Amino acid sequence: MRASFIHLADTHLGYEQYGVRERFNDFSRAFWNIIDEAVARDVDFVLIAGDLFNKRAIDAQTLIHAIEGLKRLKDRNIPVIAIEGNHDRSYYRDGLSWLQFLCYQGYIILLTPVMQDGAPLLTPWQPQTMLGAYVDLLDGHLRIYGLPWQGSATVRSLEGMAQALATTRSEEEAQGIEYRLLAMHTGIDGIVARVQGLPTMGQLQVLQPYVDYLALGHVHKPYTFDGWIYNPGSTETCSAEESQWDDRGYYYVEIDTDEPERIIDVSSKERLHHAEHMRSRRRPFIRRDLRVEGLGTPEELYVRLEEYCRAEGPRHRDEDARPVVQIHLTGTLGFDVGSLDQARMEEMVRAYFQCLYVRIDNHTNDQDYVPDEGELDGRDRASWHELERRIFEELIGRDNRYLITKEQWGAVLAELKQRSLDKDDPEQIARFLREKRAALQSAQIGS
């Protein structure tokens, strides 16, 4: 049996990053480009390992963009197999998710196993109920299992999955199954330090005897292990941190069970596939840490910033798309942070980079700076409010569920505090929070 497929995850369609509409379009374009590649290579199927959407409650434009890409595959009779990620699930347990809607419309096959005592029931997917743990393709020679986002129950679920696979192995062989994939929306502990609560490599190893290809999503950093675990990374840049992982994208995988490739240095088993990691096309995202030690005045900082912009800005003007630029000011300031002119710095970056969006984050501290008596004024108090908002962002960002929208939630928390200090009516405050929460449904993942 010979076959090919594309494995992608974490497209986060609908993410209007920084409130910039063009960033919304960027996430869709990255997805469409991969769809075009699947059509050009005439793959046998496409596998989406969760987080097709950025949040549970999407708008009409996001749905249109998703369908626009998926319809190209449907028109070419290329099936799309998907699982739900933590961003895709329905808001209420008894509600329907948008992935279920796409499944109902025939654009995807959504693998949703019934769970019993922490273990999935390995029943075939049924179009009538849109439930099932697996689907067979290529005349029944290839089987794809799916295990959607399980949250804190992930370790228990994968142990149950391994036990269930063990009991069906002889039956699979009798049915002529030659190749097995498992899609899971989870990561591996330790890949990204701040993302915690994930299964360890040892805990995933229980699946290896039964799975030829483990297709992961969730963690936006790409990685592969032992020739059977693959995580492609996010297709667009969801945060400045991701810009350091330039090889994010998707996998193009070719399967050949007739002439397997024997692996000597990795595993004793024969590898039945070759996976090529492809970099997705996305908008340039530039992240720079600018140290401020030794600078005694704001003007000296402006000079250092301009030196960097003058050296690096022109290099990026030849890019296919205007970049997003994020500058992190780090270190200890020798002057009051409130005297920095944020607008001046941002305009300087725009002038040299001709960027789509610029963000300058002040992560400095001025703990060694003691102002003269009477030096604090209204301008300084405004800087305190900005610092407080960024502290909120820092604290919120430590929880991976809220990372993508930490800027928005930081502003919400700052507003809540101010309304409380102003003694606003509690009902109005509660209404404000409900409205913001509805607009930021992605912050509710895992609840």
**How is the chain split into domains, by residue range?**
2-279, 285-376
Is residue 177 pLDDT above 50, yes or no? yes
Which pLDDT value is given to residue 319? 66
Which pLDDT value is given to residue 437? 79
**Average pLDDT of the residues of the chain:** 87
Decide which of 194 and 382 is more confident.
Answer: 194
Is residue 320 pLDDT above 70, yes or no? yes
Give the phi and the psi of residue 187 in degrees, each rounded to 5.
-120, -165
Write down how long the chain is.
447
Is residue 237 pLDDT above 80, yes or no? yes
Cα separation of 64 and 17, whole Å? Answer: 19
Is residue 250 pLDDT above 60, yes or no? yes
Which pLDDT value is given to residue 306? 96
Highest mean pLDDT range out of 78-92, 224-238, 379-393?
Answer: 224-238
Confidence label for 147 from pLDDT (cuts 50, 70 and 90): very high
pTM: 0.79
The reply to whether CATH 3.40.47.10 applies to domain 2-279 is no
User: Mean pLDDT, to the nearest integer, of 123-130?
Assistant: 92
Which pLDDT value is given to residue 342? 92
pLDDT per residue as tens digits for the range 185-226: 999 999 988 788 899 999 999 999 999 999 999 999 999 999
Fill in the DSSP letter of residue 124: B
Q: What is the dihedral of CA 50, 54, 55, 58, to 10 degrees?
A: -110
294's CB contacts (< 8 A; 6+ apart) are: 334
Cα separation of 399 and 196, whole Å? Answer: 9
- Residue 254: strand, helix, or coil: strand
pLDDT per residue as tens digits for the range 408-429: 887 788 778 877 776 677 777 8
Cβ–Cβ < 8 Å for 288, 329: no
Which pLDDT value is given to residue 379? 43
Which pLDDT value is given to residue 120? 92
- The region of weakest confidence among 95-104, 159-168, 189-198, 423-432 is 423-432
User: Residue 119 has which token pair?
Assistant: 């273990």
Nearest to 131 by CA among 108, 114, 106, 143: 114
3-state helix, strand, coil in the chain (%, to 5): 40, 20, 40
Q: How far is CA 89 from CA 48, 202, 230, 347, in A?
A: 14, 28, 23, 40
Cβ–Cβ < 8 Å for 210, 162: yes
